[in-house]
Structure 1
């Protein structure tokens, strides 16, 4: 005769199982839960990060019992305090959540390029404040003022001070002189004896000399051209030893202006390719926003889509005389360049930044692209990385009447 198990016993059994399961789950929870606990580490005295620098939680931890497993990302592109959390293992190998507060600060002075002396004739339309470039790494419009009185309509030498200040209180000051002079008229004479001199031949850099001194198994020698070189015989350029040419595809006609195709672009690129020269292109930009930079990049891509572009597409911004009026930070300008280059990269080309040594060191500090260096010397001392070097603007090569820029391309660059 079979014994039946009562419903009451079944219910009691199920309840016991449920209790055991709950106890087990609770024990597991106690072991895996992440508890807020700042007792397992100590912090450094300085909890500040400089704007635009790379920083992480470990930079602010003095001692910690275990290892940091994960942490919030520090945003160093925005000034101010940030509360950050991170997960770490304590001495008992338990996960704990730590919390710290850091402050992102800007301690860099505005960048001001002011000379020691300026001079202008009486009554000129000199805009002295805008003649002096005054920009900031973070602020779009730092305070830029000339202290002292001067009168463009009165001859004399004026002792002045240029003061620039950003919103973080960083201040730059420099004394300089402005000389206002009366222009010499044709009726005025001097007692200086007149001497005659024989005309001298203008100096230039011979392409053959650069070929002989800089060409090796790791380099190629070429030129960059635009409408200013006029009609070019690319067969002669090729026979002279050039292996590549960087061609201006176009330019922007000032800030906010139209995009203008270089009038010699089509004939230059077709004849260069016809003579088996490697080709890259550059665009002369006045872009004052990331939106504008992306639009320019797409315009360039449209112009070159039917050609074999084996060298990079270059963002060429040299409009620093308009920088003050653009009301851009240095970081903002770098972001504009990055946007142009990233758009080019996304289209399957290689984007590159063009810049001279001084501007690369002072302005182009936050870009992420390869560099085409401009430094007119026989031996550059620029210590950054670059894939190509524009080493002169007074070059002479067979096939071009007049001067041309000569460039050295490094084969071991990732851009080739």
Structure 2
């Protein structure tokens, strides 16, 4: 069987924006030495059991079995604390795109709740202005591996909350560090707060990384499960899995059916790129343009109506 070519899709974790970038150092020399010494421990985590495969959720235009949106099907998560629940205002999508795609009748514009994800490459952000353009939620780059912290994370975490956006944090998984080390690093740097969105594990093949290792499917699933279990115990929320087409094809097809997925699909509807996979978020563009940010930004949409968004938020906290 012919092997499909590697995906050309990347995220802002590994792609430099055209906007201004604040200078900062990440990690340190001692941490880098530690990273090299601990690479040999990368396969020490316990073996998880693969999850069963489930049919896909309903979309606007693709003729697939009818069922409720995935937002209604995810498992209920434990509560961190009894924070009062108030419904947020939903802002309509006003983003533009430097490389617009015609998705036809399955356009993400038909989805009610849009948001963005950002890292240091977006530089200084006017959060209030960004929100009015349709950023109802944001995922912030927090950590890489076991010793890198995005230098804008703490400021973005605070400012996004002050502006009223629902925000969460994501971790870019590094295949040359143990899952336990990476979970501990994320927990050390990302606050456990009522009202925050569930944490995200970003799993991709990254050709720009200093780690050239491509573990077997078995070891990929093993390491992911250890990391996700640790975060779920600490935050009381089931983590969301973000991935791209080539990594999904190699490792995740048919796996982790009881986890929410955030899928990158910038040229077609997720049902065409990830057949049979339920999804919670769709990253439909890596070339978004908007007031409040200089340069390009990733655009995302929630799989459900406004009502389903509010219901999902209530169950996630």
| Pairwise same-fold verdict (TM > 0.5) | yes
Contact 1:335 1:367 in 2 (8 A): no
Q: What is the root-mean-square deviation of aligned Cα atoms in Å? A: 3.2
CA distance in 1, matches of 2:134, 2:264: 21
Question: 1:238 aligns to what?
Answer: 131
**Contiguous gaps of at least 5 residues in structure 2:** 7-42, 44-96
CA distance in 1, matches of 2:192, 2:211: 38
Counterparts of 1:204 and 1:114, CA distance in 2: 22
Larger Rg: 1
How far the C-alpha of 1:353 sits from its partner, in A, is: 1.4
Q: What residue is the counterpart of 1:118 in the other structure?
A: none
1:364, distance to aligned residue in structure 2 (A): 1.6
Call closer, same or farther: CA 1:266–1:114 in 2, change over 3 Å: closer
What pairs with 1:2-401 in structure 2 (closer than 5 Å)? 203-205=98-100, 213-216=109-112, 220-252=113-145, 258-288=146-176, 292-305=178-191, 307-308=193-194, 310-321=196-207, 326=213, 328-347=215-234, 348-365=236-253, 367-368=255-256, 369-377=259-267, 379-380=269-270, 381=272, 382-383=274-275, 384-401=277-294
The 1:273–1:204 alpha-carbon spacing in structure 2 relative to 1, beyond 3 Å, is: same
Where does residue 39 of structure 1 map in the other structure?
none
Q: Paired residue for 1:128?
A: none
Structure with bigger helix share is 2
The runs of 5 or more residues in structure 1 that have no matched partner are: 1-108, 116-139, 141-201, 253-257
Give the conservation status (yes or no) of the 8 Å contact 2:205–2:247. no
Deviations 1:18-41 (A, max 9, x none): xxxxxxxxxxxxxxxxxxxxxxxx
Deviations along 1:332-373, one digit per CA (max 9) or x if unpaired, are 111111211111111112212111133213322364232110
1:326 is paired with a residue whose SS is coil
Do the aligned residues in 2 keep the contact of 1:221 with 1:409 (CA within 8 Å)?
Answer: yes
**Partner residue, 2:91:** none
1:114 deviates by: 6.3
Cα deviations by residue, 1:142-199 (Å, 9 ceiling, x for unpaired): xxxxxxxxxxxxxxxxxxxxxxxxxxxxxxxxxxxxxxxxxxxxxxxxxxxxxxxxxx
Q: Is the 8 A contact 2:262 2:281 kept in 1?
A: yes
Q: Is the 8 A contact 2:175 2:215 kept in 1?
A: no
User: In 1, Cα distance between the equivalents of 2:4 and 2:187?
Assistant: 35
